[in-house]
Copies of this chain bind each other. A is one copy, B any other.
Amino acid sequence: MQVAIALFDRLTALDAVGPYEVLQRIPELDIVFVGKEVGEVRTENGFLGMTVDAKYEDVPTPDVVVVPGGIGSRVAAKDDDVLSWILTAHETSLFTTSVCTGALILGATGLLDGLTATTHWSAYDTLAKSGATPIDTRVVEHLDKRIITAAGVSSGIDMALRLVEILFDATAAQAAQLMIEYDPMPPFDTGSIAKATPEVLERVDQYAAERD
């Protein structure tokens, strides 16, 4: 079973690597990182290079599609190579998924039109423009449509565990969870917009302005 994870310049690394790290634990899954050109892309601020091993057109029928987000999603969502690949792949994929603002790329294909979906909390308004109804939920599943969207960045880990459960069984997902020792214990409980204080939001604005 083939999993294709899209990479593009200025992506958010964890959007792609979270699902990757879960899915690569399952021996039945082969994972290929795809993009416009074979070679290196760089993450949002350029600190990390990741390798595209195959061009989109060379992986036309993956069983699972994972579309990450990041600042670069703004460009990717206007790139016909990306959008036509997703649309073609979705014709035969078992599941087409997004993490974070990867939902804006899925949305640009029209696949989310009329569906509930989720994305990074900062991007609900943009997602709505694609005809989707954004909801503040960690993972939104449309099993009949074979589409799953996950919220911001780290939520791709939760999404991928659920995907493994659907594709294989609960034991497979639990085994992957144990292998990555995913027993989360964040030192704070401020991981969702509903829990954020004004002080934290102000700091987020400051950080985002400095790095955008």
In the docked arrangement, what's the CA distance between A157 and B188, Å?
A: 12
Residues in chain B near residue A53, CB distance under 8 A: 49
Given A154-B182, A172-B203, A183-B191, CB of A45 within 8 Å of CB of B24: yes
Residues in chain B near residue A180, CB distance under 8 A: 14, 152-154, 191
Query: Is the Cβ of B27 less than 8 Å from the Cβ of A48?
Result: no
Q: A75 interface residue, CB < 8 Å from B?
A: no
In the docked arrangement, what's the CA distance between A27 and B44, Å?
A: 13
> Which chain B residue shows the least CB distance to A184?
B184
In the docked arrangement, what's the CA distance between A91 and B185, Å?
A: 30
Query: Is the Cβ of B13 less than 8 Å from the Cβ of A31?
Result: no
Which A19-59 residues have a C-beta within 8 angstroms of B? 20-21, 24-27, 30-33, 40, 43-45, 47-51, 53
Cβ distance A104 to chain B, nearest Cβ, rounded Å: 15
Query: Is the Cβ of A40 less than 8 Å from the Cβ of B51?
Result: yes
- The 8 A CB mask of A176-188 against B (1 = contact, 0 = none) is 1111111111111
Cβ distance A126 to chain B, nearest Cβ, rounded Å: 15
> Which chain B residue shows the least CB distance to A191?
B183
Query: Is the Cβ of B26 less than 8 Å from the Cβ of A21?
Result: no
- The 8 A CB mask of A191-212 against B (1 = contact, 0 = none) is 1110111011101100110110
Cβ-neighbour of A48 out of B47, B51, B179 (below 8 A): B51
In the docked arrangement, what's the CA distance between A201 and B179, Å?
A: 9
Residues in chain B near residue A174, CB distance under 8 A: 188, 190, 196-197, 200, 203
In the docked arrangement, what's the CA distance between A31 and B46, Å?
A: 10
Name 7 extra pairs, CB < 8 A, besides A48-B51, A154-B157, A177-B191. A14-B180, A24-B43, A49-B50, A158-B184, A175-B200, A179-B207, A184-B186
